[in-house]
Amino acid sequence: MKKSTLFTTFVTTVFLVIGNQASGLAEETELICTGNPIDIVFVIDSSKSIYNMDFNTQLEFVSFIVNHSDIGLGPTQVRVGVITFGDKAVIKINLKESVNKKELNENITKISQVSGEGNTADALHTMRNVMFQREQGGRSDVKWIAIILTDGYSKNPNTSHVEAEACRRENIELFVIGIGNSVFFTELWVIVSKPSTEFLFIASISEAFKNIRKKVAQLACRKSGF
């Protein structure tokens, strides 16, 4: 091969690599939730039926939404809270802690898995009765979103269905993402907001999360009626 051909091939390869990197950077920095005040609470399954790798993938998903949102305590910004649940619900991050992305992401990395049984009902109850309250940083005049990540195995499914219905009555939009290799679909279909086909996603592996996360963000960040 001639030197000129080698040089052309080298230059083309370099620009392709740079182009791909720039494209990836643009995707990572593109804001999806901006100019639209929303309170988002993530409800993360931390029970023993969740593999540690899947638990960490859930945290990465939360960080993705944070990085693609205009995070802050301003009137038109997005606030994010996090609950995990095993035997009981544990509040990890309140909405009022959404000061900026850096601090929020640092707090997300500190969340650890606690195992135990999947008490989905307690998680939904805590989310509805505590997380969106004004003293915790909730705002009554913005859209409320809950993104529930779980494999659907609950130790009290009847109660979790009741709690989900109570959330919907209070106009909390319930997105559900089924995670893990074995998902109990019946639980997910009952919990999720309707139409289920719009609010329910399945992510059995981490690659699936990458494929759906932007779609979830776009749906969650739609303009509300407020």
- Tell me: the pLDDT tens digits for 42-63? 999 999 999 898 999 999 999 9
Question: Is 172 inside any structural domain?
Answer: yes
Per-residue pLDDT at 23:
35
Q: Which two structure tokens, joined as six digits, stand for 148?
A: 């529930």
**Lowest-pLDDT choice from 29-43, 97-111, 161-175:** 29-43
Closest CA to 123 of 77, 169, 80, 92: 92
Do residues 89 and 118 share a domain? yes
Q: Within 10 A of 91 (CB to CB), how many other CB atoms are there? A: 15
Question: Is 141 inside any structural domain?
Answer: yes
H or E element: which one contains 43? strand 38-45
Domain limits at 190?
33-220
Do residues 91 and 1 share a domain? no
Mean pLDDT value of segment 55-78: 95
Do residues 14 and 44 share a domain? no
Question: Is 225 inside any structural domain?
Answer: no
pLDDT band with cut points at 50, 70 and 90 for residue 206: low
Q: Which two structure tokens, joined as six digits, stand for 117?
A: 């049984």
Partner residues linked to 149 by β-bridges? 44, 177
Question: Is 51 inside any structural domain?
Answer: yes
Do residues 21 and 110 share a domain? no
pLDDT at position 66 over 90 = yes
Per-residue pLDDT at 28:
53
Q: What percent of the chain has pLDDT over 90?
A: 66
Q: Which two structure tokens, joined as six digits, stand for 145?
A: 């979103």
Straight-line distance from the first to the last Cα atom of the chain, in angstroms, rounded to the nearest whole number: 65
Beta strand 78-85 with 89-93 is antiparallel
Is the CB of residue 164 less than 8 Å from the CB of residue 176? Answer: no
Q: pLDDT per residue over 175-204, tens digit each?
A: 999 987 788 888 899 999 999 999 999 887
Do residues 4 and 74 share a domain? no
Do residues 78 and 101 share a domain? yes
The Cα–Cα gap between 174 and 132 comes to 14
The Cα–Cα gap between 141 and 111 comes to 29
Question: Is 165 inside any structural domain?
Answer: yes
Do residues 88 and 113 share a domain? yes
Do residues 16 and 73 share a domain? no
More confident residue, 11 or 124: 124
Task: Give the domain CATH number at 108.
Answer: 3.40.50.410
The Cα–Cα gap between 197 and 181 comes to 20
Question: Is 226 inside any structural domain?
Answer: no
Question: Is 182 inside any structural domain?
Answer: yes
Per-residue pLDDT at 155:
86
Do residues 73 and 126 share a domain? yes
Do residues 7 and 101 share a domain? no
DSSP string, 156-204: -HHHHHHHHHHHHHTTEEEEEEEESSS--HHHHHHHS-SSHHHHEEEES
Per-residue pLDDT at 11:
29
Per-residue pLDDT at 18:
30
Closest CA to 83 of 74, 95, 65, 71: 95
Per-residue pLDDT at 203:
83
Greatest mean pLDDT among 6-15, 36-45, 149-158: 36-45
Is the CB of residue 184 less than 8 Å from the CB of residue 151? Answer: yes
Packing angle, helices 101-109 and 52-67, rounded to 10: 180
Do residues 26 and 66 share a domain? no
Per-residue pLDDT at 29:
61
Q: pLDDT per residue over 127-175, tens digit each?
A: 999 999 999 999 999 999 999 999 999 988 899 999 999 999 999 999 9
Per-residue pLDDT at 30:
83
Do residues 107 and 2 share a domain? no
What is the tally of structural domains in the chain?
2
